[in-house]
Homo-oligomer: A and B are copies of this chain.
Amino acid sequence: MKLYGVPISTATLRALACLSEKNLDYEFVPVNMSAKEHKTPQFLSRNPFGQVPAFEDADLKLFESRAITQYLAHTYEDKGTDLIIRDPKKMAIVAVWIEVESQRFDPVASKLSWELAFKPKFGMVTDDAVVEENEKKLEEVLDVYESRLSESKYLGGDCFTLADLHHLPVVMYLMGTKVKKLFDARPHVKAWAAEIQSRPAWLKVAPS
Protein backbone atom coordinates (compact mmCIF):
# COMPACT_ATOMS: atom_id res chain seq x y z
CA MET A 1 0.00 0.00 0.00
CA LYS A 2 1.13 3.50 -0.82
CA LEU A 3 -0.26 6.82 0.37
CA TYR A 4 0.76 9.88 -1.65
CA GLY A 5 0.30 13.09 0.28
CA VAL A 6 1.54 16.06 2.27
CA PRO A 7 2.13 15.55 6.00
CA ILE A 8 0.36 18.79 7.04
CA SER A 9 -2.70 18.31 4.78
CA THR A 10 -5.88 17.52 6.70
CA ALA A 11 -7.11 15.10 4.02
CA THR A 12 -3.75 13.29 3.99
CA LEU A 13 -3.81 13.10 7.79
CA ARG A 14 -7.34 11.64 7.71
CA ALA A 15 -6.10 8.74 5.60
CA LEU A 16 -2.93 8.37 7.73
CA ALA A 17 -5.02 8.25 10.91
CA CYS A 18 -6.99 5.36 9.45
CA LEU A 19 -3.90 3.44 8.26
CA SER A 20 -2.46 3.87 11.76
CA GLU A 21 -5.63 2.74 13.59
CA LYS A 22 -5.84 -0.31 11.30
CA ASN A 23 -2.17 -1.04 12.04
CA LEU A 24 -1.40 -1.55 8.34
CA ASP A 25 1.98 -1.52 6.62
CA TYR A 26 2.21 1.23 4.03
CA GLU A 27 4.69 3.45 2.29
CA PHE A 28 4.16 7.20 2.59
CA VAL A 29 5.15 9.01 -0.60
CA PRO A 30 5.53 12.78 -0.07
CA VAL A 31 4.13 14.98 -2.85
CA ASN A 32 6.09 18.18 -3.50
CA MET A 33 3.33 20.74 -3.90
CA SER A 34 5.74 23.71 -4.16
CA ALA A 35 7.10 22.03 -7.31
CA LYS A 36 3.48 21.49 -8.51
CA GLU A 37 4.02 17.75 -8.49
CA HIS A 38 0.26 17.30 -7.81
CA LYS A 39 -0.52 18.84 -11.20
CA THR A 40 1.75 16.53 -13.23
CA PRO A 41 0.11 13.98 -15.60
CA GLN A 42 1.54 11.18 -13.44
CA PHE A 43 -0.14 12.48 -10.29
CA LEU A 44 -3.36 13.39 -12.12
CA SER A 45 -3.62 9.72 -13.10
CA ARG A 46 -3.79 8.96 -9.36
CA ASN A 47 -6.14 11.84 -8.46
CA PRO A 48 -7.74 13.66 -11.43
CA PHE A 49 -8.53 16.68 -9.23
CA GLY A 50 -4.81 17.21 -8.56
CA GLN A 51 -5.26 17.09 -4.82
CA VAL A 52 -3.79 15.01 -2.01
CA PRO A 53 -4.05 12.27 -0.91
CA ALA A 54 -3.98 9.48 -3.47
CA PHE A 55 -3.80 5.83 -2.49
CA GLU A 56 -2.79 2.50 -4.00
CA ASP A 57 -3.42 -1.03 -2.75
CA ALA A 58 -1.82 -3.33 -5.36
CA ASP A 59 -3.74 -2.56 -8.59
CA LEU A 60 -6.50 -0.55 -6.88
CA LYS A 61 -6.14 3.25 -7.08
CA LEU A 62 -8.29 5.46 -4.87
CA PHE A 63 -8.56 9.12 -3.94
CA GLU A 64 -10.81 11.22 -1.65
CA SER A 65 -9.73 10.69 1.96
CA ARG A 66 -13.14 9.51 3.21
CA ALA A 67 -13.38 6.89 0.42
CA ILE A 68 -9.91 5.62 1.36
CA THR A 69 -10.87 5.29 5.04
CA GLN A 70 -14.12 3.46 4.11
CA TYR A 71 -12.14 1.04 1.95
CA LEU A 72 -9.56 0.36 4.68
CA ALA A 73 -12.17 -0.03 7.43
CA HIS A 74 -14.25 -2.51 5.39
CA THR A 75 -11.47 -4.45 3.64
CA TYR A 76 -9.18 -4.83 6.64
CA GLU A 77 -11.90 -5.25 9.25
CA ASP A 78 -9.87 -7.89 11.14
CA LYS A 79 -6.81 -5.63 11.51
CA GLY A 80 -6.19 -3.05 14.24
CA THR A 81 -9.12 -1.02 15.57
CA ASP A 82 -12.58 -1.92 14.28
CA LEU A 83 -13.84 1.38 12.82
CA ILE A 84 -17.22 0.21 11.57
CA ILE A 85 -20.14 -1.58 13.25
CA ARG A 86 -21.47 -4.87 11.85
CA ASP A 87 -25.11 -4.35 12.89
CA PRO A 88 -26.83 -2.64 9.87
CA LYS A 89 -29.01 -0.31 11.94
CA LYS A 90 -26.13 0.76 14.16
CA MET A 91 -23.94 1.22 11.08
CA ALA A 92 -26.67 3.42 9.55
CA ILE A 93 -26.35 5.71 12.57
CA VAL A 94 -22.55 5.79 12.12
CA ALA A 95 -23.18 6.72 8.46
CA VAL A 96 -25.36 9.64 9.57
CA TRP A 97 -22.51 11.07 11.66
CA ILE A 98 -19.97 10.41 8.91
CA GLU A 99 -22.20 12.61 6.72
CA VAL A 100 -22.55 15.21 9.48
CA GLU A 101 -18.74 15.57 9.61
CA SER A 102 -18.57 15.87 5.83
CA GLN A 103 -21.57 18.18 5.30
CA ARG A 104 -21.93 20.24 8.50
CA PHE A 105 -18.63 20.21 10.43
CA ASP A 106 -15.91 20.17 7.79
CA PRO A 107 -17.03 23.05 5.51
CA VAL A 108 -17.11 25.40 8.51
CA ALA A 109 -14.19 23.99 10.52
CA SER A 110 -11.90 23.85 7.47
CA LYS A 111 -12.52 27.54 6.72
CA LEU A 112 -11.58 28.36 10.33
CA SER A 113 -8.44 26.23 10.29
CA TRP A 114 -7.41 27.84 6.99
CA GLU A 115 -7.92 31.35 8.36
CA LEU A 116 -6.51 30.79 11.86
CA ALA A 117 -3.93 27.99 11.54
CA PHE A 118 -2.67 27.91 7.95
CA LYS A 119 -2.78 31.57 6.84
CA PRO A 120 -0.57 32.79 9.74
CA LYS A 121 1.86 29.90 9.01
CA PHE A 122 2.10 31.03 5.37
CA GLY A 123 2.43 34.74 6.21
CA MET A 124 -1.06 35.50 4.88
CA VAL A 125 -3.62 37.83 6.50
CA THR A 126 -6.58 36.29 8.36
CA ASP A 127 -10.01 37.51 7.20
CA ASP A 128 -11.77 38.41 10.47
CA ALA A 129 -15.22 38.55 8.84
CA VAL A 130 -14.86 34.96 7.59
CA VAL A 131 -13.71 33.89 11.07
CA GLU A 132 -16.66 35.56 12.79
CA GLU A 133 -19.24 34.11 10.38
CA ASN A 134 -17.83 30.59 10.67
CA GLU A 135 -17.38 30.72 14.45
CA LYS A 136 -21.14 31.27 14.70
CA LYS A 137 -21.82 28.36 12.36
CA LEU A 138 -19.40 26.12 14.26
CA GLU A 139 -21.16 26.95 17.54
CA GLU A 140 -24.42 25.67 16.06
CA VAL A 141 -22.75 22.44 14.95
CA LEU A 142 -21.03 21.96 18.32
CA ASP A 143 -24.34 22.51 20.14
CA VAL A 144 -25.71 19.49 18.28
CA TYR A 145 -22.51 17.54 19.09
CA GLU A 146 -22.82 18.43 22.79
CA SER A 147 -26.33 17.03 22.86
CA ARG A 148 -25.33 13.89 20.92
CA LEU A 149 -22.23 13.27 23.07
CA SER A 150 -24.28 13.59 26.26
CA GLU A 151 -26.19 10.48 25.06
CA SER A 152 -23.38 8.39 23.56
CA LYS A 153 -19.64 8.37 24.22
CA TYR A 154 -18.74 8.78 20.54
CA LEU A 155 -20.60 10.42 17.65
CA GLY A 156 -21.48 7.16 15.93
CA GLY A 157 -22.35 5.25 19.10
CA ASP A 158 -20.61 3.53 22.01
CA CYS A 159 -17.30 2.99 20.25
CA PHE A 160 -14.79 5.00 18.23
CA THR A 161 -15.60 4.76 14.51
CA LEU A 162 -14.83 6.51 11.23
CA ALA A 163 -17.36 9.18 12.26
CA ASP A 164 -14.96 10.33 15.00
CA LEU A 165 -11.74 9.57 13.11
CA HIS A 166 -12.67 11.84 10.20
CA HIS A 167 -12.65 14.81 12.61
CA LEU A 168 -9.10 14.26 13.92
CA PRO A 169 -6.97 16.49 11.63
CA VAL A 170 -9.18 19.58 11.60
CA VAL A 171 -9.92 19.36 15.34
CA MET A 172 -6.15 19.13 15.95
CA TYR A 173 -5.51 22.35 14.02
CA LEU A 174 -8.42 24.18 15.67
CA MET A 175 -7.10 23.23 19.14
CA GLY A 176 -4.11 25.48 18.44
CA THR A 177 -6.33 28.49 17.69
CA LYS A 178 -8.78 30.71 19.58
CA VAL A 179 -11.58 28.44 18.36
CA LYS A 180 -10.52 25.95 21.08
CA LYS A 181 -12.73 27.98 23.44
CA LEU A 182 -15.83 26.88 21.51
CA PHE A 183 -14.94 23.24 22.21
CA ASP A 184 -13.97 23.95 25.83
CA ALA A 185 -17.30 25.69 26.52
CA ARG A 186 -19.14 22.41 25.89
CA PRO A 187 -18.12 19.74 28.45
CA HIS A 188 -18.99 16.64 26.42
CA VAL A 189 -17.42 18.06 23.26
CA LYS A 190 -14.31 19.04 25.23
CA ALA A 191 -13.94 15.53 26.70
CA TRP A 192 -14.56 13.87 23.31
CA ALA A 193 -12.03 16.09 21.52
CA ALA A 194 -9.39 15.46 24.20
CA GLU A 195 -9.97 11.72 24.12
CA ILE A 196 -9.83 11.24 20.38
CA GLN A 197 -6.78 13.50 20.11
CA SER A 198 -4.91 11.36 22.65
CA ARG A 199 -5.40 8.04 20.83
CA PRO A 200 -2.00 6.33 20.46
CA ALA A 201 -2.57 5.52 16.77
CA TRP A 202 -3.30 9.18 16.04
CA LEU A 203 -0.30 10.45 18.06
CA LYS A 204 1.94 8.25 15.87
CA VAL A 205 0.98 10.16 12.70
CA ALA A 206 -0.14 13.62 13.91
CA PRO A 207 2.38 16.40 13.19
CA SER A 208 4.12 17.37 16.46
Binding site for B on A (CB under 8 A): 48-49, 60, 62-64, 66-67, 70-71, 74-75, 88-89, 92-93, 95-96, 98-100, 102-104, 107, 144, 147-148
Contact = CB atoms under 8 A, between A and B. Distances in A.
A24 to B, nearest CB: 15
A100 B70 CA distance: 14
Please give me the 4 A-B residue pairs with the lowest Cβ-Cβ distance, nearest first.
A64-B99, A67-B95, A71-B92, A67-B96
A115 to B, nearest CB: 17
A102 B104 contact: no
Q: Which of A66, A92, A147 has the most CB of B within 10 A?
A: A92
Contacts of A49: 100, 104, 144
Given A48-B147, A64-B103, A75-B92, 16 more contacts: A48-B144, A49-B104, A49-B144, A60-B89, A60-B92, A62-B92, A63-B96, A64-B99, A67-B92, A67-B96, A67-B99, A70-B92, A71-B92, A71-B95, A75-B88, A102-B103
B144 A67 contact: no
A49 B143 CA distance: 10
Contacts of A107: 107
Contacts of A63: 96
A22 B62 CA distance: 28
Contacts of A93: 62
Nearest to A75: B88
10 contacts: A48-B148, A49-B144, A60-B89, A60-B92, A67-B92, A67-B95, A67-B99, A71-B95, A75-B88, A102-B102
